[in-house]
C-alpha cells in the first residue's frame, strides 16, 4: 500500500549568491525536498543539496522576462505539494525581504497546507559586508534604510526621497533602472559628495563593483558597464570602507573547508 502524500511547503532563503552562505537549516530542508521551485537569484549549486530524484523547477524572474507569473508560481507550489509532498520554495536572499514570501505563504495556507520558513542571509546586508562596508558605525551612521528601488507600480519608492533627507546609510535593491532619479533626489539635498557603492552579482565570481559619489556614480556605472542585479549603497560608511582591506575576499581565497569542526 502506498504511503499517503503529506503536503508541506518550506520557504528557504538562498542567501546573497555565494552558495556557502546558505544556512545549515536551509541545506537540511533541501535534503528533504520532493520538489524544489527555485528563483533566478538563487545559486544553481544549491540544487545539489536536494535529492537527485527531486523535481527541480525554475520559476525565476528577470526584468522583462518571467518564467511564470506570481499567480502561476503560487499555484505551482500548491499543486506540487498536493501531488508530491514536500515542496521547497528556494528564494534569493531572505524570502521576506522584497521576495513576496508572505504572499506565497498566505496562498499556500489557504489550502490548509502546513508551511515553514527558513530565513536567509539578506543581500542587503551581506553584499555590503563582503566589500568591507559596515552599514552602521559608531560616530558615522546610527541606522540604515533598506528600500526597494522599483515598486509594484514600476515607480521609484517614495521612501528614497525621505531617506535622502536622513543621515542614515541607504541600501537600495532593484534600483539600477532608477539610478538617475535616485541621484537627482540626493543632489536636491545637497549631497553630491556623498559616497556611493554599486555592487553587481555580489558574493559571486561574477561580482563587479563601482565606487564614487552621488555626482560621479552615473559615469562610473557607464564606464564599468554595471547593471542588474546590483545593490546601491549610499552613505559615509562607503567612503570609510576604502581604507580597509576587503576581508571577505581574503577569507574566500584562503579559507580551509571545515566540516563539523574537523578538517
**Residues forming the active site:** 39, 61, 174
Partnered with residue 93 across adjacent β-strands are: 15
CA dihedral 253, 256, 258, 261 (to 10 degrees): -120
- Determine which helix (DSSP H) or strand (DSSP E) holds 247, and give its type and residue range: helix 247-254
- Grid cell for residue 253: 581565497
Instruction: Say which DSSP state 259 is in.
Output: B
- Determine which helix (DSSP H) or strand (DSSP E) holds 222, and give its type and residue range: helix 217-224
Residue 179: which residues within 8 A CB-CB, separation 6 or more? 217, 218, 221, 232
- Determine which helix (DSSP H) or strand (DSSP E) holds 238, and give its type and residue range: helix 236-241
Secondary structure string (H, E, C) spanning 58-117: ECCEECCEECCCHHHHHHHHHHHHHHHCEEEEEECECCCCCCCHHHHHHHHHCCCCCEEE
Amino acid at each position: 500500500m502506498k504511503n499517503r502524500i503529506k503536503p508541506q511547503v518550506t520557504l528557504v532563503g538562498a542567501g546573497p549568491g555565494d552558495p556557502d552562505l546558505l544556512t545549515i537549516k536551509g541545506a537540511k530542508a533541501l535534503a528533504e525536498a520532493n520538489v524544489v521551485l527555485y528563483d533566478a537569484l538563487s545559486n544553481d549549486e544549491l540544487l545539489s543539496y536536494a535529492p537527485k530524484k527531486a523535481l527541480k523547477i525554475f520559476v525565476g524572474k528577470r526584468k522583462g522576462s518571467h518564467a511564470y507569473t506570481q499567480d502561476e508560481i503560487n499555484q505551482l507550489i500548491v499543486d506540487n505539494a498536493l501531488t508530491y509532498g514536500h515542496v521547497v520554495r528556494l528564494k534569493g536572499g531572505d524570502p521576506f525581504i522584497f521576495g513576496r514570501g508572505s504572499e506565497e505563504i498566505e496562498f499556500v495556507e489557504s489550502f490548509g497546507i502546513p508551511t515553514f520558513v527558513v530565513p536567509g542571509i539578506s543581500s542587503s546586508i551581506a553584499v555590503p559586508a563582503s566589500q568591507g562596508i559596515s552599514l552602521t558605525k559608531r560616530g558615522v551612521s546610527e541606522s540604515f534604510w533598506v528600500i526597494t528601488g522599483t515598486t509594484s507600480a514600476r515607480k521609484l519608492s517614495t521612501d528614497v526621497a525621505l531617506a535622502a533627507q536622513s543621515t542614515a546609510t541607504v541600501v537600495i535593491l532593484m534600483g539600477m533602472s532608477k539610478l538617475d532619479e535616485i541621484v537627482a533626489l540626493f543632489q536636491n539635498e545637497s549631497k553630491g559628495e556623498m559616497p556611493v557603492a554599486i555592487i553587481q552579482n555580489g558574493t559571486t565570481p561574477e561580482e563587479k563593483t563601482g565606487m564614487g559619489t552621488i555626482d560621479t556614480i552615473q559615469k562610473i556605472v557607464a564606464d564599468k558597464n554595471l547593471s542588474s542585479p546590483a545593490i546601491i549603497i549610499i552613505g559615509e560608511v562607503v567612503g570609510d570602507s576604502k581604507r580597509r582591506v576587503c576581508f571577505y575576499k581574503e577569507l574566500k581565497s584562503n579559507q580551509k573547508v571545515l566540516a563539523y569542526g574537523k578538517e
